Structure 1
Amino acid sequence: MSQQTSIPATYMRGGTSKGVFFRLEDLPVEAQQPGEYRDSLLLRVIGSPDPYGKHTDGMGGATSSTSKTVILSKSDREDCDVNYLFGQVAIDRPIIDWSGNCGNLTAAVGVFAIQQGLVDASRLKGDNVTVRIWQQNIQKVILAKIQLREGQAVELGDFELDGVTFPAAEVEVTFMSPADAGNNVLPTGNPVDELSVEGIGSLSATMINSGIPTVFVNASDAGFMGTESQDVVNSSPESLQKLELIRAAGAAAMGIPLSGHIPKVAFVSPPKAYTASSGKRISEADTDLLVRAVSMGKLHHAMMGTAAVAIASAAAMPGTLLNQAAKGNVDGTVTFGHPSGTLTVGAEVEELNGDWLVNSVTMSRSARTLMKGHVYIPPV
């Protein structure tokens, strides 16, 4: 052990994701600033890059949902309690993508912030507290409503979240003004565009930058049913390559750099009956539409929180592929089906001078502490 670096850390689940959480001040001094050393250290924490794709020698879970790192610090902003920096770690490459947020882990940020004394004790009274989070990657405010008992975060409860095996305490997460500042929510200005994709042809697409830049196409246009399980898509190299080509074309059309994390790509369809990965039967009447989304080159087992923000935002805007799939039956709240079940998300949008604004998006998640102690890192 004496040849390794010991760093205080907490392993947490937030929503349908897991990650290793650090206080900024607990990291080695050189890693308290962005750069090569920080990235090398956190890659080693997770166990990447791993050509075997298992993360056997690290804390990662060898999926995009479980290869995540979080760095938190007390915020110096008057309107926020905590600064939240998220790193999406590639599994087979020495890359950490700092360009976007993890909406699922946001639920755990509020709990961790309370545990670590990053929220002023004077605010920890009553039955709940709204932790005000400054999301540093995207420069946005997120609010996490955490249940309290005697000034401590409540983690256990009976709230069930599809994609998570066991119930826990509900955490209401609200993303404030989640679209990129200074840009149209619909980057092309259109609810639907014809996207030219190399080797595939022209596809109708809705592109949106709310939550996380996302490219949506119709499932049928891309050769899918819309009810596919994670295994069905991820076991097909042809399907994954097709979706990657669509993602790259979408990035170009949106005028944004293509990274492993951004943009996301998803395919949508009207409601249909299917069996979720848990064996739960989802009927046509249970959802407004179906969505399957790709994260870091693989179909997600449920839904990324940031992509859920994009889904709710787009579904609320007339003319988008998502609004069409839901047959316009969206009154600010949409329930969509994903491989693990369903999720309900509310979006407050408005049209102003021909442009769409997304004021807020709210969804319920849950969070739980899995392990607290130290991680050990060989020299990097």
Structure 2
Amino acid sequence: MTHVPQIKVPATYIRGGTSKGVFFRLQDLPAAAQVPGAARDALLLRVIGSPDPYGKQIDGMGGATSSTSKTVILAKSSKPDHDVDYLFGQVSIDKAFVDWSGNCGNLSAAVGAFAISGGLVDASRIPQDGMATVRVWQANIGKTIIAHVPITGGAVQETGDFELDGVTFPAAEVQLEFMDPAADEEGGGGSMFPTGNLVDDLEVPGVGTLKATMINAGIPTIFVNAEAIGYTGMELQDAINGDAKALAMFETIRAHGALRMGLIQNLDEAAKRQHTPKVAFVAAPKDYVSSSGKQVAAGDVDLLVRALSMGKLHHAMMGTAAVAIGTAAAIPGTLVNLAAGGGARNAVRFGHPSGTLRVGAEASQVNGEWSVTKAIMSRSARVLMEGWVRVPGDSF
């Protein structure tokens, strides 16, 4: 009996923000996977260890959560005034598909560093010491991200004293600017508010009619009030992720919101679009204890936000959802803005299950239409392992 040997594919395993994933240079992928399609998806599924009916991804690099079932492909940019093209693939844990419909804001923090270390950024743009500005084209949604990456001795600096709630150890700070983050290219009619309203009445069978802010900024997101669905906004993962009825409710809200946002044409399509849109619920500030045991005081935050990713409550906050939160908070009248006390603001600090996060956004209204020039937040990133991943040669 003949056996197919494993092949080796150059790869780097990196933590970016509160996520981690397997990073590839496009040029290092097998030829069949260098173009979008079934071969690429099959390769990435096998690398991560999906689909896994056990839900553990034991036979792959994934960690069996939405935050750790991620892949990134980078290439020298084909766009003017950009250094690198960044493509993100969210790998389903229990189903055989890769969702390319959105960005990962957390892994965005690692893109600049990987691009520099991988020789994808012109050497003349990298200082010996100081800050390298990497211009990233986010290919999933057609947006620009500016990453400010610290450089020491001509190399990326990864260690430092910047602390990020949801990440155990400190590291070097990477500031990200999400330029013109509203209305991605994948849907929503090109408008920040695809329904034309800051707040809608969203009819959800079996749940009721919910007030909802549906926004395209960073990532399409549906915001509802915590109290309207029986929550306080102080919940941690265990309060929701073991409750099958609650998870089904959130998926129903997500599907009906996606339909109203124009992201899908019928409800059945929602199952094939797990990565977007996100569902989040908001509440006014309250004292609570984070998942690490850290006390978060009501006075430390402007509002509380909990968000679901790939069908489960996220352990912290997705970076792209943080962009949506910052953008919505900057626009008076949205549910996010109202939960934060209303009025004009250009930054917000919100409480999430792991602690707090600050995000800024610059919003303005012209001829009745809201626009946001950029959203800003700080994350960190660190290489965990580099070398090759191995997959059976007949797996793609």
Quick check: TM above 0.5? Answer: yes
Question: What does residue 133 of structure 2 align with?
Answer: 130
Q: Which of 249, 254, 262 is the matching residue for 1:255?
A: 262
Is 1:289 aligned with 2:303? yes
- Residue type of the alignment partner of 1:137: N
Contact 1:272/1:284, CA 8 A, preserved across alignment: yes
Counting aligned pairs with the same residue, the percent is: 63
One-letter identity of the residue aligned with 1:191: L
TM-score by length of 2: 0.94
| Map of 2:174 onto structure 1 | 171
* Contact 2:7/2:390, CA 8 A, preserved across alignment: yes
1:185 counterpart residue number: 192
The Cα of 1:329 is off from its aligned counterpart by: 5.4
Q: How does 1:147-162 map to 2 (within 5 A)?
A: 147-162=150-165
Preserved contact between residue 51 and residue 93 of structure 2 (Cα < 8 Å): yes
Q: Alignment partner of 2:196: what SS?
A: coil
Count of equivalent residues: 380
Partner of 2:267: none
The match for 1:97 is 99
Aligned to 2:378: 364
Query: Is this contact kept in 1: 2:358–2:377, CA < 8 A?
Result: yes
Cα distance in 1 between the residues matched to 2:378 and 2:245: 35
2:223 is the alignment partner of 1:216: yes
> Aligned AA for 2:307?
A
1:187–1:209 Cα contact (<8 Å) kept:
yes
Aligned partners of 1:327 and 1:311: how far apart in 2? 14
SS in 2 for 1:213: strand
Structure 2 CA distance, aligned partners of 1:238 and 1:77?
46
Equivalent-residue separation in structure 1 for 2:244 and 2:51 (angstroms): 21
1:343 aligned residue (336, 347, 357): 357
The aligned amino acid for 2:381 is: A
* CA drift at 1:2: 7.6
Amino acid at match of 2:144: V
Q: CA deviation at 1:231?
A: 1.3
Match for residue 280 of structure 1 among 294, 297, 301 = 294
TM-fit CA distance, 1:292 = 0.4
Is the Cα contact below 8 Å between 2:287 and 2:295 reproduced in 1?
yes
**In the alignment, structure 1 residue 80 sits paired with structure 2 residue 94:** no
Distance, in Å, in 2 between the alignment partners of 1:200 and 1:300 is 22
Distance 2:344 2:280 in 1: 19
Measured on the aligned residues, the alpha-carbon RMSD in Å equals: 1.1
Q: Deviations over 1:218-261 (max 9, x none)?
A: 00001111100011110111111111111111111111123101
8 Å CA contact 2:179–2:373 kept in 1: the answer is yes
Q: CA deviation at 1:166?
A: 0.2
Instruction: Identify the range of structure 1 (216-225 vs 121-130) with the bigger mean alpha-carbon deviation.
Output: 121-130
Contact kept, 8 Å, 1:288 with 1:329, in 2: the verdict is no
- Cα distance in structure 2, aligned partners of 1:149 and 1:284: 38
| C-alpha separation in 1, matches of 2:11 and 2:32 | 17
Separation of aligned partners in 1, 2:214 and 2:57: 33
What residue number does 1:328 align with? 342
**Residue 15 of structure 2 aligns with which residue?**
13
Secondary structure at the aligned position of 1:30 is classed as helix
Displacement over 6 Å in runs of 4+: none
**203, 210, 213: which is aligned to 1:203?**
210
- Give yes or no for contact 2:329–2:345 (8 Å, CA) kept in 1: no
Q: Structure 1 counterpart of 2:223, which letter? A: F
1:69-123 deviations in whole A, cap 9, x for unaligned?
Answer: 0000111222110010000000000010001000000010011001011111111
| Contact in 1 for aligned 2:332/2:343 (Cα 8 Å) | no
The runs of 5 or more residues in structure 1 that have no matched partner are none
Shift of 1:165: 0.3
The 1-side partners of 2:357 and 2:247 are apart by 24
Residue 353, structure 1, aligned to residue 353, structure 2: no
Give the conservation status (yes or no) of the 8 Å contact 1:195–1:250: yes
Q: Is the 8 A contact 2:85 2:138 kept in 1?
A: yes
Q: Residue 47 of structure 2 aligns with which residue?
A: 45
Give SS of 2:327's match: helix
Letter in 2 for 1:308: A
> What is the one-letter code of the residue matched to 2:217?
S
Amino acid of the residue matched to residue 324 of structure 1? L
Shift, 1:354, TM fit? 0.6
Per the alignment, residue 303 of structure 1 pairs with 317
